[in-house]
A and B are shown apart, each in its own frame.
Chain A
């Protein structure tokens, strides 16, 4: 069913007299008058190619047929007019009542036709960038035997995509063999998006009976953002044994001064503190902070409660978290740390810490399209203790956790403290979704600030960012953090 855009629109030119296509210009090459021969054959070929699949109706799932009860009472009204006419001996009233009886018959005569439609849906770009506008064209042809006097089509736009132009709906009437085309624009958002079935509602001419069916026309777009490396993210002192970038409290080789100790045999000569030797005659060795790499797991809060935003149009805290996690992911990977991804979500999402270019690609894929991090919440239930048990089992012993959460409920704060208590040092990174318009909004903001304060007093690093970008907030916070 998913012919190319050209092929999908081609029969439109042939049946243009019947069709209700709003912009015939979309038919591209095929209706530019009479081109030269090879173009014409190409058009015919694409016509033939398109005509083949459009003969078969799209799979449909019949949902229900109901009486709309619109005309309820028309027969009663008509007959009471007739009765009154008889009583008062006015023939004109009987005639008017007879017209009403005619309508009553009309209302009972019809039957909601079945929507035998061939539906094709094409998108202008199957792999858009986030924020790109994607033009969606839906064409439905009546391939049945009967006319559809009243057809309403409502397209199943994926819940994560916002329609920005032209409703994804149309109402029309189709004779057999004619088609309707409608277009709308959606704005790309991060993730994999599958279209839901097109809903077709048919009514008989009088509108007395209605039939609802779902027409399955699978379409999908995948929107994978590029990961841009954010600023330098300060990590906490839980490290692996491998050399890296995180300064530790372990003395050894390094750059920054750590301590001096007694000379032991075998210490390198260049680390001997010769000034001290000259002053006091004792041999001592300078210890420098060892720089090691860390294992980091980026944990994104994607429970239903985290899908919050300051206003209905703004991006949700989950979006902000995922974007920040993407920046942290590439920054940490560039710094030589091992990075993994997990989601605090009813759906399972786990990318074990790793490094290398393949891992970078896998991380980008996970952050962009994992269902657990989808732009709209899942319907599943979240079980906190089950999730925590599984998470702890997977977490490497030397891993620290960067926890991205809007902190709008106590569960997130409790989990952060529990993970931290299990020895995996936690840094909470919190996008601020609160507003200050009403008293309720201010209360929520206050509660959230209190949660941040509690976390900080429990020794957990916490950083929040609102309107300013994530790297700016990190740079500002780093100055006040000790190692």
Chain B
């Protein structure tokens, strides 16, 4: 942003994402990176890169950069999982990564439509809360199911269980 900002109508010029969204996104990305570091150092590093990309994308108001950041984060998850990370840490990292991307992208949209100067806290809080809730529910569900069926099942069985779940959901809708 340049010095011209003072001259033009302030909120029209300031299309940066609101501070609340950037801060919330960074917090979630921090949680994801920490969980990733616990799961595996290489994966954690990639998740850290993703967090950085979210920050850059927020400042450059670019959903594309945010998308690339999310892709790098997914790569980090895959790497950590491949190296045999514990399921708990990987679940937390996955939820954190998704929430961080979601809020950052939401913030960019808000910046475009209402600008940085407007009152947005409630909106960001509701969006972040809903996103976190969905992630937590999904993680709790899959983790609960794994515990319930016992740890020793083959991986293919888990995948088939998931496929069954997806088929069930799409049939119900």
B84: chain A residues within 8 A (beta carbon): 90, 92
Contacting pair A313 B7 (CB below 8 A) = yes
Cβ contacts under 8 Å, B165 to chain A: 98, 101
CB distance from B121 to the nearest CB of A (A): 9
Are the CB atoms of B155 and A90 closer together than 8 Å? Answer: yes
Q: Which of A70, A84, A103, A149 contacts B81 (CB 8 A)?
A: A84
Measured between beta carbons, the chain B residues less than 8 angstroms from A169 are: 11, 113-115, 118
Interface size on A, residues (CB 8 A): 57
B20 to chain A, nearest CB (A): 10
Within 8 A of A (CB), among B135-166: 135, 137-139, 141-143, 146, 153-156, 158-159, 162, 165-166
In the complex, the answer to whether A91 meets B77 with C-beta atoms within 8 Å is: no
Expressed in whole angstroms, the Cα–Cα distance for A130 and B129 within the complex equals: 46
Contacting residues, chain A, for B126 (C-beta < 8 A): 149-150, 173, 205
The total of Cβ contacts below 8 Å across the A-B interface reads 176
Asked if B77 contacts A96 (CB within 8 A), the reply is yes
**Roughly how many angstroms separate A74 CA and B70 CA in the complex, as a whole number?**
10
Given A173-B123, A173-B126, answer yes or no on A95-B77 (Cβ-Cβ < 8 Å).
no
Q: Tell me what chain A mostly uses at the interface: helix, strand, loop, or mixed.
A: mixed
Q: Looking across the interface, which residue of chain B has its beta carbon closest to that of A182?
A: B119
Cβ–Cβ contact A70 & B155, under 8 A: no
User: Once the chains bind, are A167 and B127 in contact (CB under 8 Å)?
Assistant: no
Interface residues of B, CB < 8 Å — how many? 63
B158 touches A95 (CB 8 A): yes
**Contact among B11, B67, B77, B130 with A81 in the assembled complex (CB-CB below 8 Å):** B77
Q: Which residues of chain A are near B93, meaning CB under 8 Å?
A: 96
Contact at B90–A171, with CB atoms within 8 Å?
no
Q: How far is the CA of A471 from the CA of B140 in the complex (A)?
A: 79
Find chain A residues with CB under 8 A from B127 CB.
149-150, 173, 205, 207
> Could you tell me if A103 and B138 are in contact, using CB atoms closer than 8 angstroms?
yes
Q: Which 7 pairs show the lowest CB-CB distances between chains A and B? A: A102-B138, A167-B11, A93-B81, A92-B87, A173-B126, A171-B123, A169-B114
Q: A94-B158, A95-B91, A99-B94 are in contact. List 13 more A-B contacts (CB 8 A).
A: A70-B109, A84-B78, A91-B146, A95-B139, A95-B158, A96-B94, A102-B139, A150-B123, A154-B113, A163-B9, A168-B11, A170-B119, A205-B127
